[in-house]
Amino acid sequence: MQTRVTKAEIVRSLPEPVVLPQEAAEIIRRGGLVAFPTETVYGLGADAFNEEACAKIYEAKGRPSDNPLIVHIAEYESILRLTDDRNPRMKALAESFWPGPLTMIVKRGRNSVPDAVTGGRDTVAVRWPSHPVAQALIRVAGGYIAAPSANRSGRPSPTKASHVIEDLDGRIDMIIDGGDTQVGLESTIVDLSEEEVRILRPGMIGAEEIARVLAAPEGVSQLPSAAAAEEAEEALAPGMKYTHYAPKGEMTLVSGDKEHVISYINRSASGTDKITGVISSEENAALYKADVIISCGSRTDGAAVAQRLYAALREMDARGAELIFCEDFSEADKTGAIANRLHKASGGRHVFAEADGRVRAKQNPGGGQRDGTAI
């Protein structure tokens, strides 16, 4: 299959602010696959009501079939076809965060999407993205696009069209190039299908913000509990149990005081024949000695770090880094989303650097909010 790569033109004039590549929506309508930019990461889209088309997504990505897709919509009313639930929490969260990087899990309705989208679950994941290209494509293609991230399964999610080309060229019909994505990490997933509201995947919209909206008088009467849930992984977004976001090299996350982190990393990187890499904050980048040093932005700028993180992981692959060290960015990480992705990218290898180059295994690896936190 030949994959066409085309730019979308954002014209910012009403009524339609985007000129889509010719045939993009047509490809979706006739059951093909189109990768498109959203504000979080690039998605790989198919008509959410076309079972066969959705099956192609799993094949193109090499995605396990029990890992369901998110249905992307372009107006609030569309969710009312996907669920029969008229949960006031759904409306309250939509009013505050949609369009935007929040996915809601709701009970699947009688006339909802087929099993291929939900992995046979009785719930469905729904998001209204804010990216103008995503919105135009969804609208013109019929209102419902099922889409996971547009990467090969296990690879970091794509934040540039070139990442999608790297992973999926020849496997899908079209890639719409909309430049770099703004948020850079996948959406926050909040589960509204049970009495207890839970965050299944942290993202740039934090648990506190969500809890605040749900506690408002027009939201719900009951304040969600703030206790962390000790739940089995199957209860969470099923995708979270798979190795994710991983670069090809072996990555270690390093926490601790700045000077200890730098000295541990420099010592480890100099004592090996392997190609070494450091994912660093802007402030510290000049202080490392390694083959590949990539800055993700200021220690205090979480939005910048999130936006650049996946490109940094992919750049490490492109430059052949075999042993990668990464700062923990905890100062910048207000919602725990960065810690969550770094924990997965490092396969749980997380050390705490102490004086004289000593390290100890970090307690509570991941550092930030865990998957499945109840709010």
Interacting residues with ligand AMP (CB under 6 A): 67-68, 70, 105, 118, 121, 123-125, 148-149, 186, 189, 200-201, 237-240
Smaller CB separation from ligand AMP, 135 or 266: 135
List the single partner that 238 binds among ligand AMP, Mg ion, none, CB under 5 to 8 Å by kind.
ligand AMP
- Answer yes or no: are the C-beta atoms of 58 and 114 closer than 8 Å: no
The only residue of 149, 187, 193, 340 in contact with Mg ion, by rule CB under 5 A: 149
User: Shortest approach of ligand AMP to residue 325 CB, angstroms?
Assistant: 26
List the single partner that 93 binds among Mg ion, ligand AMP, none, CB under 5 to 8 Å by kind.
none
Q: Which residues pair with 60 in a beta bridge?
A: none
List the single partner that 50 binds among Mg ion, ligand AMP, none, CB under 5 to 8 Å by kind.
none
> How far apart are the C-alpha atoms of 321 and 209, rounded to whole Å?
38
> How far apart are the C-alpha atoms of 47 and 322, rounded to whole Å?
39
x/- site string to Mg ion, residues 91 to 130, per CB under 5 A?
A: ----------------------------------------
The Cβ of residue 164 has, within 10 Å, a number of other Cβ atoms equal to 29
Report the amino acid identity of residue 88.
P
User: Shortest approach of ligand AMP to residue 327 CB, angstroms?
Assistant: 24
List the single partner that 321 binds among Mg ion, ligand AMP, none, CB under 5 to 8 Å by kind.
none
Number of residues that bind Mg ion (CB under 5 A): 2
DSSP state of 238: G
- Answer yes or no: are the C-beta atoms of 187 and 98 closer than 8 Å: no
> How far apart are the C-alpha atoms of 228 and 217, rounded to whole Å?
24
E-assigned strand segments in 87-221: 102-107, 123-127, 145-147, 174-177, 188-191, 198-201
Q: Which residue of this chain has its Cβ atom nearest to ligand AMP in the complex?
A: 239
User: Which value, to the nearest 10 degrees, does the dihedral of the CA atoms of residues 296, 297, 298, 302 take?
Assistant: -80
Give the binding site for Mg ion (CB under 5 A). Answer: 148-149
